[in-house]
Amino acid sequence: MSHATVYLDHAATTPVRREVLEAMLPWFSARFGNPSSVHRFGREARVALDDARDRIAATLGAHPDEVCFTSCGTESDNFGVIGAWRAARQHGRRAVLSTPIEHKAVLAACHQVVREGGSERFAAISRDGVVDEHSWRDACDDQLAVASAMWVNNETGVVQDIPALTETAKSSGALMHTDAVQAFGKIAFDLRSLPVDLLTISGHKIGAPKGIGALFIRRGVELEPLMHGGAQDRGRRPGTENVPYAIGLATACELTVQERDAHCAELLAMRERFESRVRDAMPDVVIHGANAPRAPHVTNLSIPGTDAETLLMALDLRGILASGGSACQSGSVGMSHVLSAMGVAPDIAHGALRVSFGCLNDHAGVDRAADVLVTLARKARGLVTA
Ligand SMILES: Cc1ncc(COP(=O)(O)O)c(C=O)c1O
């Protein structure tokens, strides 16, 4: 990356950490065994895979057999929601509950449940992007198979009260899933004291490669596998395990948890610096979710009279890389379903930029990005009023 580039899209993805790459490298070639083989190469790979599982479990406060490797956060979300629903429907529970601000992986999994004969419910969201607990409670009854709410929103950074939502869902006899893809490393939690049944993480948001994730599945929770064909991962997730990536995920999880508090303090300082610099120059900037608890790495803002797509392209030309709405929706800057659920007016939502901080940022870059954004927004407004 050239010196001038300021990458402000860490919620979309992060580079693979040097320590992660070094830990993975031998397992691609020299130590390439299949963990299901009984010979020494296989046994060596099995030991490494088990060790990775142990280390991930330790960072979550889980038992190793509660960690199921997947290909990504999207797969973990699908498995958590659809797998739990398919298992529970045999016991007469046919509904899923979620929120309208979830990642598309969860929303689409709920729609799949409907296609398979179930029903979906969505709790209301406040204007600040927080799940309405009354509405959530009203939707929890003896028909509910599984409830799913994301911990940290990938577009706004707004944090949900997952312990409270979990308690409500579980008191109705349902299972509780949370998508913690953006929360891992930003919020301290321990699954020994938080009774969620299912929890999703993804490697590439925390310095591991794209294409590895995990689903925490609490002991005793029944899931119907999404795929068929092998006995790997206790029959829950067939297919030869991706040993190097599992090792990479374990290394990334450990480093992320060790560095969490210090890193979060740095992220918060950068986000506050960025927001106040933009706000000082443009007092009418709208920061979405500003009144709600937020994780420190994301800000989502609209400058009235500007359009996100034009701003993003102009920022890119000056080496500032941010995102509009959710980058998980492959580069499109449409109307965000999250801002729409929060009741943001379409003209303001169309101007929304997501700026997300991380390991590649420092204060000088943050200041430059804020200043360039302000200059471009002023120009855009000049054109609008001309
Ligand atoms: C909150 C959230 N959930 C799920 C995902 C999907 O993860 P993955 O890209 O590993 O499929 C993402 C990001 O893409 C995300 O931000």
Nearest Cα residue to 142 out of 165, 170, 162? 170
Please give the residue that has the higher pLDDT: either 90 or 47.
47
Hey, which of 328, 330, 354 would you mutate to test ligand 1's pocket, going by the most ligand atoms within 8 Å of its Cβ?
A: 328
Domain identity same for 339 and 274: yes
Cβ within 8 Å of residue 163, ≥6 positions away: 194
Token output for 295: 């994780």
Mean predicted confidence (pLDDT) in 311-331: 81
SS3 17: coil
> How much is the pLDDT for 326?
47
328 lines ligand 1 (CB under 6 A): yes
Distance 73 CA to ligand 1 centre (A): 5
Q: Is the pLDDT of residue 3 over 80?
A: no
Q: Give the number of the atom of ligand 1 that is nearest the alpha carbon of residue 202.
A: 10
pLDDT-based confidence at residue 328 (cuts at 50, 70, 90): very low
Q: Give the number of the atom of ligand 1 that is nearest the alpha carbon of residue 74.
A: 11
- CATH (domain of 210): 3.40.640.10
Torsion of CA 53, 262, 102, 286, to 10 degrees: -170
Q: Is the pLDDT of residue 2 over 80?
A: no
Number of domains observed in the structure of the chain: 2
> How much is the pLDDT for 290?
98
Looking at beta carbons, which pairs linking 283-290 to residues 24 or more positions away fall under 8 Å? 286/344, 286/348, 288/129, 288/155, 288/156, 288/339, 288/342, 288/344, 288/352, 289/128, 289/129, 289/153, 289/156, 289/157, 289/158, 289/342, 290/128
pLDDT-based confidence at residue 382 (cuts at 50, 70, 90): confident
SS3 108: helix
- CATH (domain of 10): 3.90.1150.10
- Evaluate whether residue 102 is within a structural domain: yes
Mean predicted confidence (pLDDT) in 353-359: 98
Token output for 151: 């911990």
Model confidence, pTM: 0.96
Domain identity same for 378 and 270: yes
Domain closes at, from 223, 255, 287: 255
- Evaluate whether residue 173 is within a structural domain: yes
Q: Is the pLDDT of residue 312 over 60?
A: yes
Q: Is the pLDDT of residue 335 over 90?
A: no
> How much is the pLDDT for 333?
55
Torsion of CA 373, 375, 378, 383, to 10 degrees: -100
Could you list the residue range(s) of the whole structural domain that residue 182 is in? Answer: 18-255
Average pLDDT of every residue of the chain? 95
Least confident of 141-145, 229-233, 358-362: 229-233
Phi-psi group of 158: left, alpha or beta (phi > 0 → left; psi -120 to 50 → alpha; rest → beta): beta
Domain identity same for 181 and 272: no
Domain identity same for 228 and 268: no
Q: What is the pLDDT of residues 134-147, one digit of tens each?
A: 999 999 999 999 99
Q: What is the pLDDT of residues 211-228, one digit of tens each?
A: 999 999 999 999 999 999
> How much is the pLDDT for 386?
38
Domain identity same for 335 and 293: yes
Distance 155 CA to ligand 1 centre (A): 11
Cα angle for residues 78, 81, 86 (degrees, 5° grid): 105
Q: Is the pLDDT of residue 331 over 80?
A: no
- Evaluate whether residue 118 is within a structural domain: yes
Domain closes at, from 255, 274, 289: 255
